[in-house]
A = this chain, B = another copy of it.
Amino acid sequence: MALVVKKFGGSSVATTEKILAIAKRILSEKKPDDKIVVVVSAMGDTTDNLINLAEEIDTQPYKAKYSREMDMLLTTGEQISIALLAMAFKKLGQPAISLSGAMAGVRASSVHTKGRILGINPKRVHEELDKGQIVVVAGFQGVDKIGDPVTLGRGGSDTSAVALAGAIKADECEIFTDVDGIYSADPRIVKNAKRMKEITYFEMLEMARLGAGVMQPRSVEMGQYFKIPIHVRSTFTNTPGTIIREDYTVEDKDFEIRGVAHDQKVAKIAVLGVENVPGIAHKLFSALADSNIDVDMIVQSIRNLDKNITDMVFTISLDDLANAKKVVDKVAEEINASTVLVEEDVAKVSIVGAGMLGSPGIAARMFGALANAGINIDIISTSEISVSCLIKGSQLVEAVNSIHDEFFKD
C-alpha cells in the first residue's frame, strides 16, 4: 500500500476532457490498496476570468482593501475543479470526495492573496481516505483563524500538495507538470541537457533560487522540512521523472555539478564615485530593504585609492528596477555619488552542486569555459554549493551551453 499525494496544475485540468483524462490516468496507476490525495489548481483560464470580473468593479482589484474579497472570489476557481474531478472519479466508478482548503484543514496566515501555510489538520482527509475515497483537495488555498479563505502566494498549489503530504506522512508527493523532470540545464536552451533521477532539496533550492523555474522554493523547503520525497514528473507520460529528496539513493553518473541555472530577469545598478566612509553601504542597502527590494550580487570596488573613492555595483530582479531606481537616485544624492548607471542587458549564469564543496577548481573550469567562448564576466558571486557569473544578456545561451558542455560532455 502506498500513500501518495499527486498534484496537477491548471493546464492539466483546463477542460472537462482533461479532467476525465487525469482521473483515468490516476486510476490506471492505482493499486487496489493505494491511498491517494489529489491536489489541483483552478481550470486553465478560470482565475484570469475571475480577475477580469474583479477588474470590471475596480481597475485595480489588487488594492489592499480588496484583498480579502479577492480571496473569496479566487478560491472558487479551485472549488470548481475539485468538484468536477471528484465527479470524474465517480463517473469511472471510483469513490471520491472533494475538499476545499478549509475542509482539508489547511490553516494559513491571514495575509490575503499572499497567505502562508501555518499547519495542516488532516483529520477529515484521513477519515475520507479510510473510507476508500480518493480525496481531491483544492490547491493554492487555506483558511485563516477566523474561518476566511486565504489564497497562498507563489507556487501555492505545489506548497499545498507537499504540506499535505507532510501532514499525512505520505510516502511521496508527485508534482505533475509539463516537463518530465529536473534537467541539468533548461532543455529549451541546452539541446543535450540531461534529466536527473534525483536531486537533493538543498541543491534544488539553490537551482530554484538561481533561476530554474520548475519548482517554487517554498514547496521544496516544505518537502525538506517534512522529509517528503517530491517526484517531479510529466502529466503526459508514465515515465519516472526526478525525485527531490534528502540524499541520493541511486548511483547517478557522478557529475561534479548537478546543473547549470540561469536567470534573465536581472538588472544591474552601479552607483559610481562614492566616498568610501563607514555606513555608506548600510545606507544604500537598508533603503532598498525598506522598499522590499531584494539585492542579489554585490561588488564594492575601490576605484581610486588616493582619493578613497569607491563604486558600488549590485543586481536586483528586473521587476524591481523602476522602484529601485527611485530609491537609489535619492540615496545617491544624499551620499554625493557622481553617477547612477542602470544596465538591463545582463543575465546570471550559475553552476550548482553539493559535490563542489570538496572539489577546488570547479569554479575555475566554469570561468575557463566562459573565456573560451569569448564571454566577459562582469560580477562573480559564490555560495557553499554554487558559483554565479553576471554576463551580457545577449550572450546567455552561448554561456549556458559552454558551461554545460564543460561539465556534462560524456
Contact residues in B for A75 (Cβ distance below 8 Å): 79
Q: How far is the CB of A136 from chain B (nearest CB, A)?
A: 9
Asked if A69 and B53 make an inter-chain contact with CB atoms under 8 angstroms apart, the answer reads no
**Which residues A79-127 have CB closer than 8 A to chain B?**
79-80, 82-84, 86-88, 90-91, 97-98, 100, 103, 124
- Asked if A270 is at the interface (CB within 8 A of a chain B CB), the reply is no
- Asked if A393 is at the interface (CB within 8 A of a chain B CB), the reply is no
Interface string of A253-278 (1 = CB under 8 A from B): 00000000000000000000000000
Give the residue among A20, A65, A73 with the most B Cβ atoms within 10 A: A73
Contact residues in B for A82 (Cβ distance below 8 Å): 72
Asked if B83 and A72 make an inter-chain contact with CB atoms under 8 angstroms apart, the answer reads yes
Q: How far is the CB of A304 from chain B (nearest CB, A)?
A: 56
Known contacts A147-B103, A148-B103; A70/B57 CB under 8 A: no
Identical copies in the complex: 2
- Asked if A50 is at the interface (CB within 8 A of a chain B CB), the reply is yes
Asked if A54 and B84 make an inter-chain contact with CB atoms under 8 angstroms apart, the answer reads yes
Asked if A56 and B16 make an inter-chain contact with CB atoms under 8 angstroms apart, the answer reads yes
Contact residues in B for A61 (Cβ distance below 8 Å): 87
Asked if B79 and A66 make an inter-chain contact with CB atoms under 8 angstroms apart, the answer reads no
- Asked if A58 is at the interface (CB within 8 A of a chain B CB), the reply is yes
Asked if B147 and A84 make an inter-chain contact with CB atoms under 8 angstroms apart, the answer reads no
How far is A79 from B80 in the complex, measured between Cα atoms in Å? 11
Q: How far is the CB of A378 from chain B (nearest CB, A)?
A: 46
How far is A68 from B99 in the complex, measured between Cα atoms in Å? 11
Asked if A20 and B57 make an inter-chain contact with CB atoms under 8 angstroms apart, the answer reads yes
Q: How far is the CB of A50 from chain B (nearest CB, A)?
A: 7
- Asked if A19 is at the interface (CB within 8 A of a chain B CB), the reply is yes
How far is A103 from B68 in the complex, measured between Cα atoms in Å? 14
- Asked if A76 is at the interface (CB within 8 A of a chain B CB), the reply is yes
Q: How far is the CB of A157 from chain B (nearest CB, A)?
A: 17
Contact residues in B for A20 (Cβ distance below 8 Å): 57
Contact residues in B for A16 (Cβ distance below 8 Å): 53, 56-57
Known contacts A54-B87, A84-B53; A72/B79 CB under 8 A: yes
Q: How far is the CB of A151 from chain B (nearest CB, A)?
A: 12
Asked if A80 and B147 make an inter-chain contact with CB atoms under 8 angstroms apart, the answer reads no
Contact residues in B for A70 (Cβ distance below 8 Å): 83, 87
Asked if A87 and B103 make an inter-chain contact with CB atoms under 8 angstroms apart, the answer reads no
Q: How far is the CB of A293 from chain B (nearest CB, A)?
A: 29
Contact residues in B for A54 (Cβ distance below 8 Å): 83-84, 87
Known contacts A76-B76, A80-B76; A69/B86 CB under 8 A: yes
Known contacts A69-B83, A82-B72, A98-B69; A88/B57 CB under 8 A: yes
Taking a contact as CB atoms closer than 8 A, the residue among B72, B79, B147 that contacts A86 in the complex is B72
Taking a contact as CB atoms closer than 8 A, the residue among B17, B72, B87 that contacts A66 in the complex is B87
Known contacts A20-B57, A53-B16, A57-B91; A73/B69 CB under 8 A: no
How far is A83 from B149 in the complex, measured between Cα atoms in Å? 12
Contact residues in B for A57 (Cβ distance below 8 Å): 16, 19-20, 84, 87-88, 91
Chain A residues within 8 Å of B, Cβ to Cβ: 16-17, 19-20, 50, 53-54, 56-58, 61, 65-66, 68-70, 72-73, 75-76, 79-80, 82-84, 86-88, 90-91, 97-98, 100, 103, 124, 147-148
Starting from the known contacts A58-B91, A69-B84, A76-B79, 10 additional A-B residue pairs (CB-CB under 8 Å) come to: A16-B53, A19-B57, A50-B80, A53-B84, A57-B88, A61-B87, A69-B83, A70-B87, A72-B79, A73-B83
